[in-house]
Amino acid sequence: MASPRICVLRAPGTNCDVETAYAFDTCGGRSDRVHLFRLIERPTLLDEYQILCIPGGFSYGDDIGAGVVFSSQLRGHLGDVVHQFLTADKLVLGICNGFQTLLKAGVLPYGAAGWGKSDRSEADATLTWNHNGKYTARWVHLKVAGSKNVFLRDISELDLPIAHAEGRLVPRSADVVETWRNQHQIAIQYAPWAAGSDGATNPINERWEANPNGAVADIAGLSDPSGRVLGLMPHPERFLFATQHPQWTRLNLEGNGAGLKLFQNGIDYFA
């Protein structure tokens, strides 16, 4: 089968599209970095791709909120083609600003069903300011929370970096979180750093709390019910090589970084 094609959709202010496209290409995909305005000019271009990825960055400068303008562009100009993409046997990945965009557009948490809702005033959740009130960039430890998501296949835990100011996931009610649990949509959660092989606490854990932004239920990423859409705040494209980990020598890491597996899973879905 031909290599799956990936649309890495960028907008003014996006700054992680090159690394994200490189990650997919390294895993055997064929990526194009497509500007949002180009897709608005020719919406049917999206039909040529099997994976849609919205990478991290600061689309439209986060001027009225992270992902707000990008999400309104998707809904206002690309509603039909995005809905068709969601209902097909295709994949969607949103990283950091991309997660914010997918959530505020209604793609997450309920996939094609959520996309059909015209009134976003009753959204089930939002991503808002970190509880420390500032931009935070550091590494976190994550656990996969029983999700059936395609991108997380055969992953139980991993370390990834974060870099965001509006990463605190806040649901409308406790019932929403319970629904996510029942539908296996809580994809990734922040977790304490694991002890070393000798039982010693990881030095990182002594400096940083496990949940860096105060997200409810420690949620770092959400899946749609189908398992074909994933949004996450941490950056897997920034851990493609073992040497990118801040403790790669202490932990004797070699070869690929743990983040590469998410992209490989996306490509392998079409094998």
In this prediction, residue 120 carries a pLDDT of 54
In this prediction, residue 145 carries a pLDDT of 92
Residue 60 has pLDDT above 80, yes or no: yes
Location of structure tokens 């960055």: 57
State the Cα–Cα distance between residues 187 and 151, nearest whole angstrom. 10
In the chain, where the domains are located: 5-268
3-state secondary structure of 39: helix
Catalytic residue at 19? Answer: no
For helices 79-87 and 68-77, angle between their N-to-C axes, nearest 10 degrees: 90
Q: Which of 45-49, 70-74, 113-117, 208-212 has the lowest mean pLDDT?
A: 113-117
In this prediction, residue 195 carries a pLDDT of 56
> Could you give the percent of the chain with pLDDT greater than 70?
92
Condensed to tens digits (0 to 9), the pLDDT of residues 224-241 reads: 999 999 999 999 999 999
- CA dihedral 79→81→86→88, nearest 10 degrees, is 150
Letter for the amino acid at 255?
A: G
CB 229 within 8 A of CB 235: no
Condensed to tens digits (0 to 9), the pLDDT of residues 113-169 reads: 877 555 555 689 999 999 999 999 999 999 999 779 999 999 999 999 999 999 999
Q: If one looks up domain 5-268 in CATH, what number appears?
A: 3.40.50.880
CB 72 within 8 A of CB 65: no
Query: Which of 7, 19, 53, 237 does the annotation list as catalytic?
Result: 237
In this prediction, residue 147 carries a pLDDT of 76
Q: Which of 20-29, 182-191, 202-211 has the lowest mean pLDDT?
A: 202-211
- Consecutive H or E run containing 127: strand 125-128
Q: Can you tell me the mean pLDDT for 244-261?
A: 95
State the Cα–Cα distance between residues 67 and 9, nearest whole angstrom. 13
pLDDT tier at 2, thresholds 50, 70, 90 = confident
Catalytic residue at 27? Answer: no
One DSSP character per residue, 59-102 reads: GGGGTTSTTHHHHHHHHHHSHHHHHHHHHSS-EEEEETHHHHHH
pLDDT tier at 197, thresholds 50, 70, 90 = very low
Query: Which of 96, 141, 166, 245 does the annotation list as catalytic?
Result: 96
Cis peptide before 109 (omega within 30 of 0): yes
